[in-house]
Amino acid sequence: METSVALKQFANQKYLNLETYRRNGQGVRTPVWFVEHEGKLYVRTGANSGKAKRIRNFPQVQIAPCKAQGEVIGEWVKGTARRVDSQKAEAVNRLFSRKYGLQKVFFDVVGRLQKFETATYEILIENQPTPNESGGNHSG
């Protein structure tokens, strides 16, 4: 599957299931908000969250479009996540505001009250889909 084809399955979706990996190779799946910009997908999470820690240790991820509760509704694709700099994060944050509107405003207010530091990650999609129905171990 070409990158552009893989990206099309995320069009008009609100969530993607992000699979990150523990040090032992065990995958952890989490439904998250995302935006697409210039052929790349972006996700945001707490800078000190488990997802952020796992990405720091092992930037290879798998993603698939999903429903809010994580039910996958598309093909899994491999990618690599990397944290973006603050300038890019600000630009991406505006895209999140446009896409998620009042829901995002609510989460931003709660986050500020809790002094929640956010990290923004760019996901570069690889060219081939990965069949991953059972969420087994990742051996990379």
Q: Rounded distance, CA 11 to CA 122, Å?
A: 17
Q: Is 96 or 140 the better-scoring residue by pLDDT?
A: 96
Q: What pLDDT digit, counting tens, does each position of 86-116 carry?
A: 999 999 998 888 898 777 665 666 666 667 6
Q: Is 46 or 55 the better-scoring residue by pLDDT?
A: 55
CATH number at residue 93: 2.30.110.10
Structural domain boundaries enclosing 40: 3-129
Question: From residue 39, how far is each of 6, 12, 16, 76, 84 by CA, in Å?
Answer: 10, 15, 15, 17, 15
Over residues 43-50, the mean pLDDT reads 92
Residue 34's φ and ψ, nearest 5 degrees, are: -155, 160
In the prediction, which pLDDT does 3 show? 58
Residue 138 lies in a domain: no
Residue 108 lies in a domain: yes
In the prediction, which pLDDT does 108 show? 64
Q: What pLDDT digit, counting tens, does each position of 52-71 carry?
A: 999 999 999 999 999 999 99
Residue 134 lies in a domain: no
The helix/strand/coil state of 140 is coil
